[in-house]
């Protein structure tokens, strides 16, 4: 992804929404995959901040055991403009 087109996230919650809108969660993703993606974007959130954001992300489903969770989208992200046209 080009830096000038990259969306900037100021919080982990915002970062997860950006990943979701980019279809990152179309398949199951481990927390380490999420952290790696954020690192490539130069976003560095604390473990606590990311954990709370993942817990609150009602558009994601979590599976696995403590310390080994994976996340996938409940439904695809629909841009507001597309949704409003219907």
The predicted-structure confidence for 19-75, as pLDDT tens digits, reads as follows 999 999 999 999 999 999 999 999 999 999 999 999 999 999 999 999 899 999 999
**Residue 1 maps to a domain:** no
b/e code 44-73 from CB counts within 10 Å (16+ = b) = ebeeeebeebbeebeebeeeeeeeeebbeb
Q: Is residue 57 part of a domain?
A: yes
Q: Is the pLDDT reported for residue 79 higher than 90? A: no
The distance of Cα 48 from the centroid of its chain, to the nearest Å, equals: 15
Look at the chain and report how many structural domains it folds into.
1
**Domain span at 52:** 10-85
Q: What secondary structure letter does DSSP report for 38?
A: H
Rounded to two decimals, the pTM is 0.82
Q: Is residue 5 part of a domain?
A: no
**pLDDT confidence of residue 5:** 65
Question: In this structure, is residue 14 part of a structural domain?
Answer: yes
The predicted structure's pLDDT at residue 22: 94
């Amino acid at each position: 992804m080009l830096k000038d087109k990259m969306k900037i996230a100021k919080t982990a919650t915002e970062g997860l929404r950006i990943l979701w809108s980019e279809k990152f969660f179309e398949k199951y993703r481990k927390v380490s995959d999420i952290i790696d993606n954020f690192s490539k974007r130069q976003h560095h959130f604390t473990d606590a901040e990311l954990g709370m954001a993942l817990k609150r992300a009602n558009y994601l489903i979590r599976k696995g055991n403590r310390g080994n969770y994976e996340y996938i989208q409940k439904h695809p992200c629909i841009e507001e403009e597309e949704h409003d046209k219907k």
